[in-house]
Amino acid sequence: MSKVKKAFFCQQCGYESVKWVGQCPSCGQWNSFVEELVQKDNGKTKADWNNYDGEKKANKTIALDEVTTGEEVRIITPDVELNRVLGGGIVAGSIVLVAGEPGIGKSTLFLQNGLQLSNTRVLYVSGEESAQQIKMRAERIKGNNPDFYLLTETSTQTIFQEIKKLKPQLVIVDSIQTLQTPFIESSAGSISQIRECAGEFQRFAKETNTPVFLIGHITKDGNIAGPKILEHMVDTVLQFEGDRHYAYRILRTLKNRFGSTAELGIYEMNADGMRPVTNPSEILITQKEEQLSGIAIAATLEGVRPLLIEVQALVTQSVYGTPQRTVSGFDLRRLQLLLAVLEKRGGFHFGVKDVFLNIAGGLKIEDPSIDLAVLCALLSSYEDVPLPPQVCFAGEVGLSGEIRAVNRIDQRIAEAEKLGFEKIIVSRYNQKSISKQKFNIEIITMGRVEEVYSYLFN
C-alpha cells in the first residue's frame, strides 16, 4: 500500500508546499494555504489517445525549417459575436476557458451554440444539472442539432470512455470545478483536482485535435476560481460580464493565442436565449426627448469594432470636507488626471466639487480616446449647459491641456456618420491620418482644451 500523501496548496495561485506557511512564496498572499489529500493511484491508467482518429501519433525532434505552416482550421459558428472574440471561429485542438458570475448565462450561451452548430457532433458534459434540466432549457432555445449529445457525469475517467465511443467534434464541459479525476484523492473543486482535470482535457484536445470549452466559476473578488495555472494551460480565456438586472451581457477576451485580446462581444438575454447584438452603438446611446447637461458621446474602439458610447457626468457642490470621486466603467486615476488638467489649464475649481462619472450600458472602457468626451461631459455638468445634440468626440487629453491624436480615426468618423451625427471633434494632429475620402459629417479639429471650451460654451 502506498503511503497517503498530503500537501498544502495556495488557494490563490495553486503553489504546492509540503508544510503550511503563512505567506505564499509565489503570489505573496497571506493565510491562503489549505491541506489537501494528494494520492495518485498507480493502478489506474490515463486515457491513451493514439489511434483516436485512425492515425498513430509519434512525437520526435524536428527542425524548425521542416515544420509546415498553414491557416488554422476553424469551426465557424452561427454566433458572429463568439466568432469575433475567438478571432474568427473555434480553432481545432484549442482549449477555451469561459468564466463569469453565477446566473449570468454561460451555460445558456454554450448550450445554444452547441444546438445551432449543424453538421458538428457536439458532446455537452454537465456536472451541475440533470439531463431533464438541460432539456427544459434547450426547448426554449432556438436550435436543432441532431448530433448534439448530453452526458451528466463528474468522473473524468467515465467522460473519456464516452468520448472514445462517440468521437465528438466539439466538447463543452460545464463546469470544470465539478469534475473529479480518480488519480487525485481530494474533493472536487480543490486546487489539485482542478489542475489535474484541466491537464487531462488539455492533453485530450492537443492529441486528438478536438476543441474543448471549459466553463468555470469566479470568486467573490471577480477572479477565475482555481489556480492561476489554469489560465496558463488553456489557449483562450473569455470573461462573461454584465449585470443580471439588465438584459445586456458582454463577452470579453482576456487571453487568446489565436487572435486579438481586445475583442468584445455583446449579447441581449431574452426568452429564447442569447441574441447577438450586431450594432451596439444604438443601444449604448440613450434616446432622449430633451437635452440634458453632463452627457457627451465618445467614439471609441473595442478591438476592430468602432463603438459610440454615452459618457454621463454629474458635478455637484461638496457637502463634506473631502470631495467624492465616484466612477463606473472608467479608470478613477484617469478621472483625477483630467480634473487636475481642468484645474490647472482651465481654472475650474473642481477641488470643492463632488464628481460622479458613468459609462452608460455597463461597459468598462480603457481606450484613452474617450478623454475628450469625459472632459466635455464634466464641463457641461459644471456649467449646467447641455452639449449640442449631434456632436461626438474622439481625442486623448495630455497633461499640458493639449488634445492628442488617436489611432484609426477614419473608422470612428465613419461610425459617427452612420449613426447620424453631424459633427465630430478630433485632435488637430489627426489631420494627416484622416483619409481623403469625402465624409458627410463635419470634422472639427482642435489642439487645446481651451479651444473646445470656447467652441462649446461661448
Q: Are 166 and 148 in contact (CB under 8 A)?
A: no
Q: Are 48 and 249 in contact (CB under 8 A)?
A: no
230, containing H or E segment = helix 229-233
Distance, in Å, from the CA atom of 85 to the CA atom of 345, rounded to the nearest integer, reads 40
Residue at grid coordinates 491562503: 32
Residue 107 labelled as part of a binding site: yes
Residue 100 labelled as part of a binding site: yes
Instruction: Dig out the grid coordinates for 62 from the structure.
Output: 524536428
CB atoms within 10 A of CB 45: 9
* Tally: H helices and E strands in the chain: 11, 23
Q: Which residues contact 274 (CB under 8 A, 6 or more apart)?
A: 105, 108, 109, 112, 249, 267, 268
Residue 78 labelled as part of a binding site: no
Single-letter code of the amino acid located at 50: N
Distance, in Å, from the CA atom of 100 to the CA atom of 215, rounded to the nearest integer, reads 9
Instruction: Calculate the alpha carbon distances from 430 to 394, 404, 423 in Å.
Output: 10, 8, 15
Q: Which of 43, 44, 42, 39 is nearest to 7 (CA)?
A: 39
Residue 105 labelled as part of a binding site: yes
Q: Which residues contact 179 (CB under 8 A, 6 or more apart)?
A: 127, 154, 155, 156, 159, 173, 188, 193, 197
Edge-to-edge strand order for the sheet containing 273-276?
148-152, 122-126, 170-174, 212-216, 95-100, 236-241, 248-256, 264-270, 273-276
One DSSP character per residue, 403-419 reads EE--S-HHHHHHHHHHT
Q: Which residues line the annotated binding site for ATP?
A: 100-107
Q: Which residues line the annotated binding site?
A: 100-107
